[in-house]
Amino acid sequence: MQDETSMDTAACVFLPAAATVMESESIMKDSVFIKRSIIQAPVEDVFEWHERPGALERLTPHWDRMKVVERSGGILPGGRTVLKMQAGPVPFIWVAEHTDYEKPRMFRDMQVKGPFAGWVHTHSFEPAGSDSCVLEDRIDYRLMFNPFGRFFMGKIIRDQLEAIFAFRHRTFAEDMALHYPDRDKPRMTFLISGAGGVIGSVLIPFLTTGGHRVIRLVRDKSLLGSDTAYWNPKSGVMELNGLPPVDAVIHLAGENIGKGAWTDEKKKEIIESRTRGTALIADAVSKLDPPPKTMLTASAIGYYGNRDECILTEDDECGCDFISDVCDRWEQAADSAADKGIRVVHMRIGVALTPRGGALEKLILPFQLGLGGKIGTGGQYMSWVGVDDVAGAVYHILMRDDIHGPVNIVSPNPVTNEEFTRTLSRVLKRPAPFTVPESAINALYGEMGKEVPLSSTRVSPVKLTDTGYRFRHPDLEDALRHLLGKLRFKNHDYHLKEIS
Domain 9-65+100-180: CATH class, spelled out = alpha beta
pLDDT score of 302 = 95
Q: For the chain, state the CA radius of gyration.
A: 23
Please name the residues in contact with 374: beta carbons below 8 A apart, sequence gap of 6 or more: 417, 418, 421, 432, 434, 435, 436
Domain(s) of CATH 3.40.50.720: residues in the chain: 185-484
Contact in structure between 173 and 272 (CB atoms under 8 Å): no
For residue 431, count other CB atoms closer than 10 A to its CB. Answer: 12
pLDDT score of 147 = 66
- For 1-39, what is the HEC assignment? CCHHHHHHCEEEEECHHHHCCCCHHHCCCCEEEEEEEEE
Q: What pairs with residue 108 in β-bridges?
A: 100, 122
DSSP 8-state class, residue 299: E
Contact in structure between 78 and 91 (CB atoms under 8 Å): no
The CATH number of 185-484 is 3.40.50.720
Full pLDDT tens readout for the chain, 500 residues? 333 333 333 333 333 333 333 333 333 357 999 999 999 999 999 999 999 999 999 999 999 989 999 999 999 999 999 999 988 788 999 999 999 999 999 999 999 999 999 999 999 999 998 899 999 999 999 998 776 566 567 888 999 999 999 999 999 999 999 999 988 899 999 999 999 999 999 999 999 999 999 999 999 999 998 899 999 999 999 999 989 999 999 999 877 777 767 888 888 889 998 999 999 999 999 999 999 999 999 999 999 999 999 999 999 999 999 999 999 999 999 999 999 999 999 999 999 999 999 999 999 999 999 999 999 999 999 999 999 999 999 999 999 999 999 999 999 999 999 999 999 999 999 999 999 999 998 888 888 888 889 999 999 999 999 999 999 999 999 999 999 998 754 433 333 233 43
For residue 410, count other CB atoms closer than 10 A to its CB. Answer: 28
Helix (H) or strand (E) holding 494: helix 491-494
pTM of the model: 0.90
For residue 223, count other CB atoms closer than 10 A to its CB. Answer: 11
Contact in structure between 477 and 426 (CB atoms under 8 Å): yes
pLDDT score of 488 = 56
DSSP 8-state class, residue 69: E
Domain(s) of CATH 3.30.530.20: residues in the chain: 9-65+100-180
